[in-house]
Amino acid sequence: MEDLIKKGAKLIQESKNVLIFSGAGLSVESGIPDFRSPGGLWEKYDPSDFYYDRLLSDEKVRERYWEMSMEFYALMKDAVPHRGYLAIKNLEDMNKLLAIVTQNVDNLHQKAGNSPDKIIELHGTAFFVSCLKCGQKSTRDEVELLIKNGVKAPYCDVCSGILKPDTISFGQSMPADKLSDSFKYASECDLCIVLGSSLVVYPAASIPEKAVENGAKLVIINRDSTHIDHLAEIVIHDSLSKVLDDIIIDN
């Protein structure tokens, strides 16, 4: 392990433009369980119930969705970024961070102090809610208050349209501009570090592959193996907070 840490630190030292690609595994040590892991929300809820077209067409589905979403938001609202997140902030302070492309919706990169303009939230954010009809945006806490007061599936107070958290649901298209920017950064980085992602959700998972195709070196730090481990300079299966702290602080 010590040799891998030293090699990772050297890769960062030699890099100028680091792309961070983060997934749900990065937030586990901040108390936010991975949806798919034991104890995750998909043990209690069936994800197929929440496909985007069903959310649009069935109010009962929306009521169940908001029940699940409130449970998830409660875990995220007061979560604190662990030292791995703070190490990523140090990477920005070192002027080596090109961008963070994250599959997470938990706001922890922002809480850690990374610049919002460095963060691409591919799957959106759970901290805001939008009307699907007129686009009116509200804070999550405003809408949570409505639900706590008995509203099971909230509607827009401007146009009566359906309200939905600003997260990407199954079957819902990712914003084209965010995908485009992510692939642009993948073509510009000289080092891509994958953190806590199983790399199974596409098209997001193809971003590290694109970085390698464009000549970048790849580091993968994840609990389990991924299908592109063979492309990486180093692969580490260990605590993300500890490994990131060791690799980045060493610089």
Torsion of CA 244, 98, 36, 27, to 10 degrees: 50
- pLDDT tier for residue 42 given thresholds of 50, 70 and 90: low
CA 19 to chain centre: 14
Of the listed ranges 23-27, 124-128, 157-161, 170-174, the least confidently predicted one is 170-174
The token pair that represents 32 in the structure block: 């936010």
How far apart (Å, rounded) are the C-alpha atoms in residues 239 and 196?
A: 10
How far apart (Å, rounded) are the C-alpha atoms in residues 189 and 212?
A: 9
Report helix, strand or coil for 202.
Answer: coil
What pLDDT, on the 0 to 100 scale, is given for residue 35?
Answer: 67
> Who wins on pLDDT, 153 or 45?
153
Report helix, strand or coil for 219.
Answer: strand
* Catalytic (active site) residue 123: yes
What pLDDT, on the 0 to 100 scale, is given for residue 16?
Answer: 97
* 193-243 pLDDT, tens digit each: 999 999 988 888 899 999 999 999 999 999 889 999 999 999 999 989 999
Of the listed ranges 113-117, 169-173, 247-251, the least confidently predicted one is 247-251
Topology adopted by domain 1-31+81-123+174-251: Rossmann fold (3.40.50)
Q: Region 150-177: what's the mean pLDDT?
A: 94
Topology adopted by domain 33-78+126-167: SIR2/SIRT2 'Small Domain' (3.30.1600)
* 85-109 pLDDT, tens digit each: 999 999 999 999 999 999 999 999 9
- Phi then psi for residue 127, to 5 deg, are -95, 0
Q: Where are the domains of the chain?
A: 1-31+81-123+174-251, 33-78+126-167
Q: Region 33-62: what's the mean pLDDT?
A: 82
Which one from 82, 109, 123, 230 is the annotated catalytic residue?
123
**Topology match between the domains 1-31+81-123+174-251 and 33-78+126-167:** no
What pLDDT, on the 0 to 100 scale, is given for residue 44?
Answer: 75
The token pair that represents 23 in the structure block: 């997934």
